[in-house]
């Protein structure tokens, strides 16, 4: 995938994810979605079990598994369908994807410039703050332009 394609993909994903950034709407209820929806619909565990094609004790296990975060997506989807719901599964970045890339590029540029500045100081060569800032921004832009998987290497 080219750099331009990655930028375009990030923009499209960020646009789609904007509507999901309301964290409160996405937080799992304390008792889990399965139990919360089942109770809101007025279904007993036995009734949901029948709709799902499993035993009543299995529904209790499903609800317990969801509550502790040990449930599979397949089981959640089947439970959702049995209650006439749709399972929605997504990763919602804490910041827009483009901002994550920019933040990472800034970290890399800062690390590289610190090394360069240190070496120059040892050689008694100083750079004007304004020039350093310009160099920093130029480096950030260059890193973003090339941003592929290399941007996520552990070493900065």
CB atoms within 10 A of CB 33: 19
What value does the mean pLDDT take over residues 51-57? Answer: 97
Question: What is the enclosing helix (H) or strand (E) of 134?
Answer: helix 129-146
pLDDT at 122 over 50: no
Interatomic CA distance for residues 65 and 45, integer angstroms: 14
Residue 154 scores a pLDDT above 80? no
pTM given for the model: 0.70
The closest of 69, 72, 66 to 37, measured between CA atoms, is 66
What pLDDT does residue 33 have?
96
**What average pLDDT does the segment 21-28 reach?**
78
Rg, the chain, Cα only:
25
pLDDT at 118: 54
Q: Which of 66-70, 74-78, 99-103, 108-112 has the lowest mean pLDDT?
A: 108-112
């Amino acid at each position: 995938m080219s750099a331009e394609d990655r930028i375009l993909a990030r923009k499209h994903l960020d646009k789609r994810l904007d509507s999901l950034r309301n964290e409160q709407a996405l937080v799992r209820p304390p008792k889990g979605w399965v139990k919360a929806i089942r109770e809101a619909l007025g279904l007993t565990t036995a009734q949901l079990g029948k709709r799902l094609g499993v035993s009543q004790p299995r529904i209790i296990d499903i609800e317990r598994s969801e509550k502790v975060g040990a449930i599979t997506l397949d089981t959640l989807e089947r439970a959702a369908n049995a209650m006439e719901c749709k399972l929605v599964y997504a990763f919602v970045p804490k910041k827009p994807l483009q901002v994550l890339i920019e933040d990472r590029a800034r970290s890399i540029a800062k690390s590289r410039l610190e090394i360069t500045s240190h070496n120059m100081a040892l050689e008694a060569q100083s750079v004007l703050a304004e020039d350093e800032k310009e160099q920093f921004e130029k480096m950030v832009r260059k890193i973003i332009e090339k941003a592929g998987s290399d941007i996520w290497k552990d070493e900065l």
